[in-house]
Structure 1
Amino acid sequence: MKEGPDIARVATLLGDPARANMLTALMSGRALTAAELAQEAGVTPQTASSHLAKLEAGQIVIPRKQGRHRYFTLSGPDIVEALEVLMGIASRVGHNRVRTGPKDPALRKARVCYDHLAGEMGVALFSGLEARKLISTDHNGVALTDAGADFAEAFGINLNELRTSRRPLCRECLDWSARQSHLAGSFGAALLDRFYDLGWAQRSKESRVVIFSPEGERNFKALCDS
């Protein structure tokens, strides 16, 4: 390719195993230090700094300074979506890790994908909203219906505030583990925040896992099945 976006450069930045582990850790939406990312990647702090410098130069991550500490975040939700797609491809073609960790089943059930719900419960939410005709899907993507707008307001979500953002209200994100869609965009993020506010779920402090209480899971299922 002589013209257009240089996908080879981006692929190279994402493709290194240590950098891939760092980026996966940042998919939680949390800002992490170089030391924390070094631990996630299983490399020395010096090596991590070298990787982060490349990711920063390629505008894949953004540094943020607070006091004496320097934190890193992903440069945007599109990076998360690209990583989810790559993880789905890797799973489909059999390029999986030899050893799975104890958190894997929990990650497959419910996890944070940047700032929205992913995993089996994320897919169930997307399917439930679509079945209830609260969202619609076509060749143009995902849209919130009039009934969906009424639902959002009744559920305690301020749509007027969301619509002032440059970010899409609804966006389809391919789930790597379920290989089906979950809901991204500002509305998807607002739904997950509302689950937290209602006490239905909480984020794990150690991973991207989202933990639903038994009552929260019942309420979630009722929301999807109503």
Structure 2
Amino acid sequence: MGAGTCPCQHGAVTTAATDGRALARLATLLADDTRATICLALLDGRAWTAGELARLAGVAPSTASDHLTRLVRGGLLVEERQGRHRYLRLAGPSVAQLVEDLAGHAPGRPEPARSLRAARAGAALAYARTCYDHLAGRLGVLLRDRLLAQGLLDGVGGLALTPAGLGWLDQLGVPVAPLRSARRPLVRDCLDWTERRPHLAGALGAALCDRFLEAGWLTRGTGRSLRLTPTGGPALAAALGLAPADLAPDATPDTGGGRA
């Protein structure tokens, strides 16, 4: 080190360069159509076999295996082996947030659907889907808006659960104590890649999605998509202070000014 060089400045430059290289390696992992497609599919929160992911991405099993190995080594996926099968899933909620946030910041609009089936699948995903372990899509954004509008969440200075929200969760059958002890934020925003507005994530977002599925208000569709059930529509609407018609895919309910 030459005379007049400050050790702390030298260390800062070295750290920045190291962090820059690490960020570049991470970006390279997702800068591939096949690997990006795989990560988006795994946002459903479930474990997929390597063969299923190969078919989804439209590549040969050997090609998919190479991509999956890179994603595992890069820390974005974890794998479990059961017999001859290799199961893969996202490494955790933080990875899911990264993928969803990047998708939300992707420039331009999605390519138009090339078939009626693809159009219906796209509409189903845009309406309601899982974002790893919480509710996303138009229904997920509406959930966040209504919790804010009803005073169940406080959006001033960041999201926070209110006393009224605690009572609402108790009526819904969602215990809060385990959520507070979870090794993740209780409530946080997650940018929705179709709505381009935040939906509710964190331990609370995951617990609500689980509760809606457990109660039969929502059911899983194809891939990540979720569907309201005939009994779930009225029940969820009542819980959010809306009319059942407000939850229709083409409805534009009054959110009560709950945007934050």
With the length of structure 1 as denominator, give the TM-score of the two structures.
Answer: 0.92
State the AA in 2 paired with 1:223.
A
CA drift at 1:48: 0.5
Which of 15, 19, 22 lines up with 1:4 in the alignment?
19
- 2:147 aligned with 1:129, yes or no? yes
Q: Distance in 1 between matches of 2:236 and 2:173?
A: 15
What is the 5 A alignment of 1:1-226?
2-4=17-19, 6-90=22-106, 93-94=107-108, 96-99=110-113, 101=118, 102-139=120-157, 141-204=158-221, 206-225=222-241
Asked if the contact 1:202/1:210 (under 8 Å) is kept, the reply is yes
CA drift at 1:218: 2.3
Asked if the contact 1:27/1:112 (under 8 Å) is kept, the reply is yes
Asked if the contact 2:187/2:202 (under 8 Å) is kept, the reply is yes
Paired residue secondary structure (1:71): strand
Asked if the contact 2:50/2:65 (under 8 Å) is kept, the reply is yes
State the AA in 2 paired with 1:14.
L
CA drift at 1:169: 1.2
Q: Distance in 1 between matches of 2:55 and 2:72?
A: 19
Which of structures 1 and 2 has the bigger CA Rg? Answer: 2
Q: Distance in 2 between matches of 1:166 and 1:107?
A: 29
Describe the superposition over 1:153-202 as per-residue Cα deviations: whole angstroms up to 9, x where unpaired: 12101111222211211111111111111111111111111111221111
**Structure 2 gaps, min length 5:** 1-15, 243-260
Asked if the contact 2:126/2:138 (under 8 Å) is kept, the reply is yes
Q: Distance in 1 between matches of 2:129 and 2:182?
A: 24
Q: Distance in 1 between matches of 2:205 and 2:227?
A: 17
Asked if the contact 2:50/2:85 (under 8 Å) is kept, the reply is no
State the AA in 1 paired with 2:25.
R
Q: Distance in 1 between matches of 2:138 and 2:46?
A: 22
Asked if the contact 2:219/2:227 (under 8 Å) is kept, the reply is yes
Asked if the contact 1:124/1:224 (under 8 Å) is kept, the reply is no
| Structure 1 stretch displaced more, 147-156 or 79-88 | 79-88
Paired residue secondary structure (2:227): strand
| Structure 1 stretch displaced more, 3-12 or 146-155 | 3-12
| Structure 1 stretch displaced more, 97-106 or 118-127 | 97-106
Paired residue secondary structure (2:44): coil
CA drift at 1:99: 3.5
State the AA in 1 paired with 2:187.
C
Tell me the percent identity. 44
State the AA in 1 paired with 2:19.
G
Asked if the contact 2:179/2:186 (under 8 Å) is kept, the reply is yes
Q: How many residue pairs end up in the alignment?
A: 222
With the length of structure 2 as denominator, give the TM-score of the two structures.
Answer: 0.81
Describe the superposition over 1:27-58 as per-residue Cα deviations: whole angstroms up to 9, x where unpaired: 00000111111011110000001001110110
CA drift at 1:98: 4.8
Q: Distance in 1 between matches of 2:19 and 2:156?
A: 28
| Structure 1 stretch displaced more, 93-102 or 171-180 | 93-102
